[in-house]
A and B are shown apart, each in its own frame.
Chain A
Amino acid sequence: MTVTVTAATPGGVDVQLRGVIHLYHQEGVDVVALRGVDLDIAAGEMVSLLGPSGMGKSTLLQLLAGVMLPSAGSIRLGEVDLALLGGPGRQELRAADVSYIVQDTARNLLPYATATQNVWFAQQGIRRRRAAVDPVELLGLLGLADTAHQRVADLPQGEQQLVALAVGVAASPRLLLADEPTNQLDSAATGRVLSLLRAINDRLGTTIVVVTHDPVVAAALPRTVTIRDGRVGSEGRRGTQFAVVDGSGSVQLPPGVLLQYPPHSRLIVQLEEGRIILRPENPGEPSH
């Protein structure tokens, strides 16, 4: 059974992370990917996770997708605590509510199938539970009608990424996770991808989290969360950069300030007239 999707169908979900810690075990060594992440994302919000490679962004996305469980901390999607879900529960989550578009476009698609067939494939997880959007209509809705019947392997890189996004929303998820969706794309294609993301957010109300290392891409989204050293370092909203106080009360200094006051520096914190002042013990002398 198919239905016609109309604009503004509500579909977002709240996301809440508290004290999320994750370790990887590699050849006898434990690598800490996330060191205590606290993050709130409102339903229908578009957020970018920014940071250099190796900071834990993709790990965070995989945790949100339920592919892995965190080593510590909690993750809630709406009323659902992921830690309380077993494998089948998380599999249902990915089928119906959470869509994860992995890094590297090709890994999100069946290269030998058409765009329509890829969308149909992605809908198999939910077909027993609810009606699915007609694949051709969905592609049309997203402006991809021309590629509907073309084999994915024959499409240019940019078109493939757009199809991957269409596949990502094929099951009408409430949370869309995209890992480096503009990687290896030129500026024109990047623009189209960002436009499509905004269209999905506008029309479907889907909560969207995008991982990127590109500040330009991050700036194009309403909210940017910078991940540094496995923690939320700062946030950007409407052009303004904010430092974020984490659960332990720590604040990450902006990189420029960190250069002046490197780790182990001692600073006096003063609250004065609604401002927080950090100054060294003896101005003009390094305090370490």
Chain B
Amino acid sequence: MLTVATVGIAAASFGPLFLRGADQSVLTSTLHAADSSNVGMTLLAVNDHVTPNQLEQAAVSVPSVPGGRAVFGSMIVTASAAIVTDALGTTQPFAADLVARTGMCRHLTFVAGSCPQGVRDVALSERSARALHLRVGDRAVLAVSADHRTVTLVVSGLFRPGNPLAPIWWGQNYFAYGNGSAALHRLDDFVTTEQTMLAIPAPGLTPLLGQLPLNSAALTPQVAVPYTQVLDRYERSAPTSLLVDPNTQLQEVFGQAARDEHTMTTIVAVVLVQLVLLSLIVLYFVAARLAEAREPDVRLAELRGFTPGGKASVALLEPVCILAAALPLGLLIAWLAGTALAPDLFHGMAPGLDGLAIGSAFVTFAGGVIATALAARGLVRRPHQWRDSNISAFGVRPLTLALDALAVALAAAAFVEVAIAGVSSGTHTDPLAALAPGLLALALGIVGGRLLPWGSAVGVRLTRNSRWVGTGMATRRLARFHSLSRHVVVLSMAVGLATFAVSGWVVASRNRSVRSAFEVGASTVLNVDARPGVNFVQAVRRADPSGRRAMAVAIENSSDGVTLAVDAQRLAAVAAWPADLSTKSVTTIGQEIGRAKAPPVDLSGTALRVSVDLLKAVTPPAALQATVFDTGYDSDTTVNFGPLEPGEHQYQASAAGGCQPSCLLVDLSAIWTPSSDIGPAATADIAMRVSALAAKTDSGVWRTVPARLDRVADWQSTSGGVRLSASPSGLDVGAVVDADGSPSSFGPADVPRALPVVTVGQSTGNGGDDLGVGLDGDTINVRPVAAVSALPQVGSDATMADLSLAQRLQTGPMINTELQVWLSPGPIQGVVRRLEALGITPVGTETAVAEDAALARDGIALAYNFFLLAAIVATLLAVGSTIFALLTASRRREGELASLYAVGVGRAPLRRSLLVEQGLIIGVGIVLGAAAGIATALVALPSIPEFVSSAAAPLPDFRLPVGPVGVTVLVAVVSLAVAVGLSARLLIDRASSNRLGSQQS
């Protein structure tokens, strides 16, 4: 009884202790998961006259939590000014910001020179420097946009642009190279010192910006509400009193954590209630057995004239003392369990025993005392049968039958209600569904406990006059002593709870693993920076020749949506793509989005040559030009070949650096620009045959480019109005060109008219085209080929396309685009080394394992961990109560068994009778409990929330985990069978005829 009571009290006190630790863990996890720019404090000066000292004063005035611990860290000050500058030797203007930011250089990789140190020092990104034709030591003349004054700074260093999405930048993009317009190109921001910025007179500077990162260790769930109020007051008063406009989303994050905690608390509380109820039921039965064992003592007390209080003391003092001893033991075990689990579950913060945990222990103790008193009430109150009788609970009492029927009806009704509550209410989830296993197992256990004696009565008839002595004895005992079957209730509840808990934990872990891999995108995702001029897709393919480990990915974020561009050839092998995410397989999807009519025409080289036979002369001659797209620098270059002459000629031109290291042919164009006296309505009829394309290598050798000019299907009119046909001699082109200089263009059919994409949540039934956003920010035509519930990493409001095709639609550099390399499971060091050698540098890493670990610390995951602990406790209670029941029964049965042995019943049938008797009770209990646990796992689990975030993700999989459930049931069977076997052996060995002389009844 001490063991059972200790386990029950430990479970009850562990519940609040778990919640306290989990609350802190949830808050910490929520804060860690939130965007640092959201949970930090931003102080924006109200005007450009606010000085750094005033900003610092405002930062110092940010309130602390009760106890004085600072919630925010040291301030990062940013001063900036919009500037415009020209490239050396050109009048091409470029726009950028001149920025001084605390500690910025620590997060930049300098490829030349160093971080700015003194006044007038400035550092540029290497691509900005290339665009401006600047090197380290050169002077940069910058015009401050606000007042048009110029500032001359010296280039101290060149850096590699950082990852604009890295948390250190607080959501501000300091690397916006390529954004802007054709008239005013945008560069990455220029980095300088604070002294330089402060030397720029107002109104040149934008108002100072202060950013204070969050110190999450200072926050506990208890301070969240009061601190929210303090923050609100600060935010209201600061603009006028401190001349800063503070902003933080910390209060919203607190709210999110509170909602997560609430869901977790509900689930844990529901499971805890069932566990405590089970503990009290077990205590009741244990106390009842103990009371039965004390019946002779109580009878003796009545015989000796004890008062009712005296008799109650005889009956109850021992179990109450045991309960009292279990109270500190249970608290100690709960505390030890919390401490042991802290590193894995609570971010290392071990929760101490608080008033609620101690109170829960006392409540369970009181419940145990009440259960004991109830179990022993008949023993104390009823007049004793002075005729010799070992009968207890013989037969069925109508009142208890009625109570059982009522309990079954209520439990069944409640089970139906909570099991489908979430689904039926439309909210899809309801934490109260976690009550289902206890309710159903209780109902089934009561029914099973009632039916077992009646079933045993059938066994009595079957074994009458048979040689199955042991079985006959067992069925007779079960048929006569109905109280024996009550243990079915305990076993049913314990096994039901354990089975459901294990199912829930495994299902949640499985869904969490799928979701974490899906939210990351693959087993490992590297955020990378590609060296200018590197063909990103080709480089990743060369780093992984197998095609199964690495995939190039670009994610473009615009206000119109997100485009996930992947190397479609490798999508199926690398991406974390749940099987039920789409009706089409991922392999089919990869084929459909990567399908192009023709391969691209690669013109990489220092010069280009086109062989053309002009079949009809045009006066004045039309000019031939080619548009090529530099895949390394994401820019178009126009190559002019000059006027077309009648007859067959080769036209060559320098690629002007636009085709190294790689470029693709966008189109060839004929442009006719006659003099204005011809008239605007004049046209010219162009007829020519293009027979060959060639590119000059670095070594000066012309290589013929495989352009498939003999296949008209591989070419298309890009401007409209161009007639194409093909022969073995080449591609015949005909067009009527206008006098306004509009090009008549044709190019490789390597890009579909509408980019095939996968959409989220939209049907593909109408077959029509939609509009989407290209990697360069331009609007493009897209054609949905499949619809999914969510896309890996980007969730909803996104489309997925093939990266190579999307790149071919670019007319300019990628903007607001993040480059990634997704890696399938396995060692990554070799791939990373090869990527770095090919000019792709990892700047950040995300892994599905880390995401899984983070998800495992959110509130609902912690609640499912509590499920598992509940399963262990339930199993212990079942085994403990069974052992106790056997041991207490053995004292009463020694004499009986000794008598049977003395009259010639052998040990084997005696042992068999015990094993059959307990086997029937345990078997019925386990079967009913497992049935209840499995049924509720199938029905109720979908109603219990799995995730805090409702972000678009694959639908959770609630298939029953047969293996773990089987193992759970097997553990229950084996542990109980061992307990019964050992107890039976002990009992039979002690029941020898020598005991007859000293038997105690």
Contacts and interface: CB of A to CB of B under 8 A. Distances in A.
Interface residues of B, number: 21
A65 B304 CA distance: 10
B533 interface: no
Interface string B372-385: 00000000000110
A213 B999 CA distance: 23
A136 interface: no
B300 A110 contact: yes
Given A67-B386, A124-B310, A153 B305 contact: no
Task: Identify which of B297, B301, B304, B386 gathers the most chain A CB atoms within 10 Å of its CB.
Answer: B304
B398 interface: no
B249 to A, nearest CB: 69
B742 interface: no
Interface in B946-1001: 997-1001
A122 interface: yes
A104 interface: yes
A73 interface: no
Interface in A68-122: 68, 88, 91-96, 99-100, 102, 104, 106-111, 121-122
Contact of A106 (B304, B386, B1001): B1001
A12 B296 CA distance: 29
Task: Identify which of B299, B300, B999 gathers the most chain A CB atoms within 10 Å of its CB.
Answer: B300
B997 A95 contact: no
A68 B303 CA distance: 12
A125 B386 contact: no
B1001 A104 contact: yes
A93 B305 contact: yes
B169 interface: no
A16 interface: no
Interface string A153-180: 1000100000000000001000000000
B305 to A, nearest CB: 3
Interface string A123-140: 011100000000000000
B993 to A, nearest CB: 16
A150 interface: no
Contacts of B383: 67
A183 interface: no
B1000 A153 contact: yes
A127 to B, nearest CB: 10
B997 A157 contact: yes
Nearest to A96: B305
Contact of A102 (B303, B998, B1000): B303
Given A107-B299, A157-B997, A95 B304 contact: yes
Contact of B304 (A68, A88, A94, A104): A94
Contact of B1001 (A92, A107, A110, A157): A107
B702 interface: no
Contacts of A171: 304-305
A102 B310 CA distance: 20
A252 interface: no
Contacts of B1000: 106, 111, 153
A126 B297 CA distance: 17
A95 B302 CA distance: 9
Contacts of B296: 107
B305 A95 contact: yes
Interface string B274-313: 0000000000000000000000110111111111001000
Contacts of A122: 304
Given A62-B386, A102-B386, A111-B1000, A91 B306 contact: yes
A104 B895 CA distance: 14
A171 B388 CA distance: 25
A125 B1001 contact: no
Contacts of A107: 296, 299-300, 1001
Interface in B544-562: none
Interface in B290-346: 296-297, 299-307, 310
Contacts of A102: 303, 386
Nearest to B303: A100
B292 to A, nearest CB: 15
Contacts of A125: 304-307, 310
Contacts of B303: 65, 67, 94, 100, 102, 108
Nearest to A106: B1000
Contacts of B310: 124-125
A225 B297 CA distance: 32
Nearest to B305: A95
Contacts of A153: 998, 1000
B299 A124 contact: no
Nearest to B296: A107
A154 to B, nearest CB: 9
Nearest to B384: A67
Nearest to A111: B1000
Nearest to A167: B304
A258 to B, nearest CB: 30
Nearest to B299: A107
A151 to B, nearest CB: 11
A100 to B, nearest CB: 6
A92 B299 CA distance: 15
B307 A91 contact: yes
Interface in B382-431: 383-384, 386, 388
Contacts of B304: 94-95, 99, 121-122, 124-125, 171
A124 B306 contact: yes
Contact of B297 (A67, A91, A95, A110): A110
Nearest to A97: B305
Contacts of B999: 106
B290 to A, nearest CB: 14
A67 B384 CA distance: 9
Given A107-B296, A107-B300, A108-B300, A91 B305 contact: yes
A153 B1000 CA distance: 9
Contacts of A96: 305
A104 B390 CA distance: 15
A88 B306 CA distance: 10
Nearest to B313: A124
A121 to B, nearest CB: 7
The 6 closest A-B pairs by CB, nearest first: A95-B305, A94-B305, A125-B305, A122-B304, A125-B304, A91-B305
Given A93-B305, A107-B300, A107-B1001, 14 more contacts: A91-B302, A91-B305, A91-B306, A94-B304, A94-B305, A95-B305, A100-B303, A106-B999, A107-B299, A110-B300, A124-B301, A124-B304, A125-B304, A157-B997
12 contacts: A67-B303, A67-B383, A91-B306, A99-B304, A108-B300, A110-B297, A110-B300, A121-B301, A124-B301, A125-B305, A125-B306, A153-B998
